[in-house]
Amino acid sequence: MANEAWWRGAVFYQIYPRSFFDSNNDGIGDLYGITTKLEYVAALGVDAIWISPFYKSPMADFGYDISDYRDIDPIFGVNEDFDMLLRKAHDLGLKVIIDMVLSHTSDKHSWFVESRTGSECAKADWYVWEDAKPDGTPPNNWQSVFGGPSWTFDTRRGQYYMHNFLKEQPDLNYHNPAVQDAVLEECRYWLERGVDGFRLDAINFLFHNKNLEDNPAREGYNSHITQFEKKSPHGMQIHKNDISQPETLEFIKRIRALMAEYPGTMTLGEIGDEDPYKTSAQYSDNGKYLDTCYNTHFMSGQSKDFAADTIRKPIEEFITQPYESWPSWAFSNHDVVRVMSRWGRIQHHTNNPDFAKLLIALLCSLWGTVFLYQGDELGLPEADIPFERLQDPWGKYLWPEWQGRDGCRTPMPWNSDKKHAGFSTAKETWLPIPNEHLELAADSQENNENSTLHFAREFLKWRKEQPALITGDITFHDTGDPMILSFTRSHPTQTLLCLFNFSDEEKTVAIPLENQKETILRPFGNFYVSV
């Protein structure tokens, strides 16, 4: 992993700081808590970690509303805690990338506090301000992801400001070169501190149409819109003018130039778009822009089924894009229903360790870079959160259709016998830990050599010795059975045939080689053979 393209085919482990480990017993995880658990992470066999935001923030969106890019929020510790974390991670052979939220700030950020004072101040046009229409309504029909218009009227300035997400997250105006310069300096600050790269949140949301033209109405819904967006005004529009503008790629060139000053660093873009495959591929085309993009298709909505095409179609669609790009894939993260529930619930295998092992092997065998979310290695299902304990503002908005993102953000269960599963000794944790997570706690699985945790370690150790699974090409094969996925990973030094049984029944599967042998796949089993 010493080469500059170390991220190609690497396995990342995403850490959500609030919920990883609480070292000061206030019920919320922190940076020192992450540091104390890094040996556990390294022992999994992953190559790198991605840490979700820990910057100073009012926490309207739990860290994705940044009020100071250069300061650590007190609930997570101090800047020196991050330096200690970074040193230890590097000592353990782990690369570290961090979230950079560049499309917007908190409304408490000093830039916005100044900008809202009036149109004559130095930062007057650092955010997207616009007069009301003559009847007092917003400037156009754009809708926020989190519900309601993308515009909020500010009485101090007497204008509307734009926000693609919460009203507490005003959008920066990237048509202003001074804004571009400023955010690049915020990135430089962390590169100087020694981070190995950035996960760039909502990177295609940076620019908007300067003419503020209305978005057209959506006639029906495409397959990339989640069932929750179908119920909101945001999903009723084609987002032609508020996101994914052509100017974004020009600014990303500036990000790439900055990263080039720090050899061995990388960029990962999060894409949310009408056509996520095209945009992801375009934004990471042939090393001109980002290194890779985090494609969210495997995490969208509540999948009604789980079959071979669930995996095959998105990857083949990405491959057919007219760009030379390297993808990144995940089954779970801090924003979606955990995969064990999203796909496992359909087949009544939410708590089946064989299904959990299948998902780990499958994800880590796909072409691209892999992202495991904390708890995936334990096979954690989604937690059910009572309404009175909900923290997520989006969940409160969508209730009772969906509890929002809290169900995947509950604290990590470390010890089945300790208070709050060993996450904290506080009287109460910021989110409750469900009882069904206790039996899946890390200590219990540590003592069971057949556990999902042991499987994850063994599989990732084996994967490191398989060049085909790290950087090889992928070719899918027809099997005639919708529950059998077959593909070949091909590398100059190795070719592997990979077979997966998505059903809970034993299957006899033909091996697509010249002699057409057969193999028996156990329920949720996988099989690898050198070709």
- Asked if 524 contacts 452 with a C-beta cutoff of 8 angstroms, the reply is no
Q: Using the 8-state DSSP alphabet, how is residue 132 labeled?
A: P
Cis peptide before 400 (omega within 30 of 0): yes
Q: How far apart are CA 374 and CA 20, in angstroms?
A: 8
Angle made by CA atoms 415, 418, 419, in degrees to the nearest 5: 125
- Asked if 413 contacts 378 with a C-beta cutoff of 8 angstroms, the reply is yes
Q: Give every CB contact of residue 13 below 8 A, 6+ residues apart in sequence.
A: 41, 44, 46, 48, 49, 50, 371, 372, 374
Q: How far apart are CA 360 and CA 82, in angstroms?
A: 29
DSSP string, 514-526: TT--EEEEPTT-E
Q: How far apart are CA 526 and CA 501, in angstroms?
A: 6
As given in the structure block, the two tokens for residue 414 are 């470390």
Torsion of CA 386, 342, 271, 274, to 10 degrees: -100
Catalytic residue selected from 120, 131, 135, 261: 261
Angle made by CA atoms 53, 8, 493, in degrees to the nearest 5: 160
Closest CA to 84 of 101, 72, 68: 72
Q: How far apart are CA 217 and CA 238, in angstroms?
A: 6
Residue 201 falls in the annotated catalytic set: yes
Catalytic residue selected from 201, 335, 376, 406: 201
3-state helix, strand, coil in the chain (%, to 5): 30, 20, 50
Residue 261 falls in the annotated catalytic set: yes
Q: How far apart are CA 19 and CA 84, in angstroms?
A: 19
**Residues known to be catalytic:** 201, 261
